[in-house]
Amino acid sequence: MNALEIAARIRAGEVSAVQVVDAALATIERRNPAINCFVEVTASRAREEAKAIDALRGRGRTLPPLAGVPYAVKDLFDVTGLATIAGSALHRNSPPAATDAALVERMREAGAVLVGTLNMDAYAYGFTTENTAFGPTRNPHDPSRVAGGSSGGSGAAVAAGMVPLSLGSDTNGSIRVPASLCGIFGLKPTYGRLPRSGSYPFVDSLDHLGPFATTTADLAICYNALQGPHAGDPACAQRPIDPVSRKADGRGLRVARLTGYFDRFASDEARAASVRAAECLGAVAEIELPEVERARAAAFIITASEGGERHLSTLKKHYADFEPLSRDRFLAGALTPAAWYLKAQRLRGWFRDRMAEVFSNYDVLIAPATPVSAMPIGTEWLDLGGEKLPLRASMGLFTQPISFIGLPVVVAPIVTPGLPIGVQLIAPPWREDLCFAAAANLELAGVARSRITEA
Amino acid sequence: MKPEDIENFVAAAAQAQGLTLDPGQQQRVAVAFARNADIARLVLEFDLPESVEPAPVFTP
């Protein structure tokens, strides 16, 4: 059942919130050992939140939009009473969070029921959720393969039918990559749209938070619940709530498919997915973005530099206990010359202006979310566009230049006979509504559909 | 940057950061830095007008 169906059944009294959460907890207990997406299961909090919903209904009150809907969060959101681990064994015994992250608070206000925290790449630096301390999260569609990352637990928990909604973070693609590899919908909103207060940071200039869901309608209702200003995040744009519609509206969107760089590094299945989506949405053009490879490179350098500096003092003290897959990359990043970093930041301003020109002609741009579908766990290298590329960094080739300038993106899972793969539906800043309109149109046409494994 | 330039830079920059690296760490960090330098080249070789500003508080 998706989130809206659950909320409707609870509202109608066909099932209680406590029954729903007990069923979700049972599914997690049964399925999690094979997938390894949960770090902590918050069963007692979940039952209390569910009881509160049932009590509200018992008193005849109007229920909030996500009343009784179970969800889980990437293990970098503060949850009252739990250490925020951020995928690092070093934080297992950190003091517990005193309050919930801003978005966890908003989910609670919307009636949703938190069932746990989810696995990730250590400190969100990775695209595969191959976490040495906590084990790899496995792809529900083929457990020998990765779920994507760094919000891999958030993607897998939804794709495995354990929860209908989850929250993750996306700095360079960490929502969009697992959404693609797990075959579900994901949203990376405009940079500055959702407050990051109470979440463990990675790269301040590029960090975004957002939801995963199995339908466009669920993604929309969750996103609407998460919106609104919050003083705790200096990068939050403090805009009023700008609700998106849950339905396809058949509006004539001006759509273009991105080629050049995006076709060069795309596997056949990734290119086919973007062509299929473009055809369905009546794309009027195929275009190349100006200097997109340099944009990706600049995002890479900003990430290395800011991420490296953030963890430098920890690395000095605790190198041996730091995630071995990323500790040398973090150290190398901390040594980035300031002039490289600042040139990358200036390139960001330049690229933003070029993209504004592109968007004077189009509403939505389409590109694959990942160059390939899920690869086997442990894969090191990938052949793409005639080049041998390091897989763990290259899964973000198509997402990184887009989040570089904070554009909103919905990832839609394209129906394919093989492993899941998604496309990015990219809109101008603050126009999430256009991403949703495109996604809903694809869903209505049967071209996009989530793939949830049977329990 | 040539491989020996990378190694020398990593050694000196680590010192500047108060970072003590054993030979194994130094070698692995140099490999990672070489990859970053290769990617940074795409940024550094691109001529940006002087008027282009960075965006410390970035609202697209």
Q: CA-nearest residue of chain B to A192?
A: B59
Q: According to the model, what pLDDT value does residue B56 have? A: 53
- A294 to B43: CB separation less than 8 angstroms, yes or no: yes
Q: What is the pLDDT of residues A269-322, one digit of tens each?
A: 999 999 999 999 999 999 999 999 999 999 999 999 999 999 999 999 999 999
Q: Tell me the C-alpha to C-alpha distance, in Å, between residue A431 and each of A169, A189, A193, A410, A424.
A: 19, 9, 11, 11, 14
Cβ A331–B53 below 8 Å, yes or no?
no
**B50 close contact with A: CB closer than 8 A:** no
**pLDDT bracket for residue A113 (50, 70, 90):** very high
In order of start, what are the domains of chain A with their CATH numbers? 3-296+333-444 (3.90.1300.10)
The reported pTM is 0.97
Residue among B18, B30, B55 minimizing CB distance to A345 = B55
What is the ipTM, given to two decimal places? Answer: 0.95
How far is Cα A206 from Cα A237, in angstroms, rounded to an integer? 14
- Give the span between the Cα atoms of A343 and A365, in whole angstroms: 27
Q: What is the pLDDT of residue A252?
A: 85
> Is B9 a residue whose pLDDT tops 70?
yes
Cβ–Cβ of A343/B32 closer than 8 Å?
A: no
Substitution target in A331, A342, A347, A351 with the highest count of B β-carbons within 10 Å is A331
Q: What percent of chain A has pLDDT over 90?
A: 95
Torsion of CA B38, B40, B45, B48, to 10 degrees: 170
Closest CA in chain B for residue A302? B40
End-to-end CA distance of chain A: 12
Give the one of A335, A343, A430 whose C-beta lies nearest to B13's C-beta. A335
Q: Does B33 touch chain A (CB under 8 A)?
A: yes
- pLDDT, tens digit, 9 for 90 and up, residues A230-263: 999 988 888 899 999 877 666 689 999 999 999 9
pLDDT in tens, A345-379: 999 999 999 999 999 999 999 999 999 999 999 99
Q: Which residues of A touch B (CB under 8 A)?
A: 190-192, 205, 234-235, 237, 291, 293-294, 297-298, 300-301, 304, 312, 315-316, 319, 328-329, 331-336, 340, 342-350, 352, 390, 405-407, 429-430
Looking at the DSSP bridge assignments, the partners of residue A117 are: A40, A73
List active site positions of A.
74, 150, 174
Contact A335 B29 (CB under 8 A): yes
Express each pLDDT in A370-411 by its tens digit.
999 999 999 999 999 889 998 988 999 999 999 999 999 999
Average pLDDT along chain A: 96
Range A423-451 average pLDDT: 96
Q: Which residue of A has its CA nearest to B19?
A: A316
The tens digit of pLDDT for each residue in A220-232 reads: 999 999 999 999 9
**Nearest by Cα to A202 from A183, A226, A244, A174:** A174
First-to-final CA distance of chain B: 34
Quote the pLDDT of residue A385.
Answer: 84
Task: Give the mean model confidence (pLDDT) for residues A140-147.
Answer: 98
Q: What is the largest CA-CA distance in chain B?
A: 43
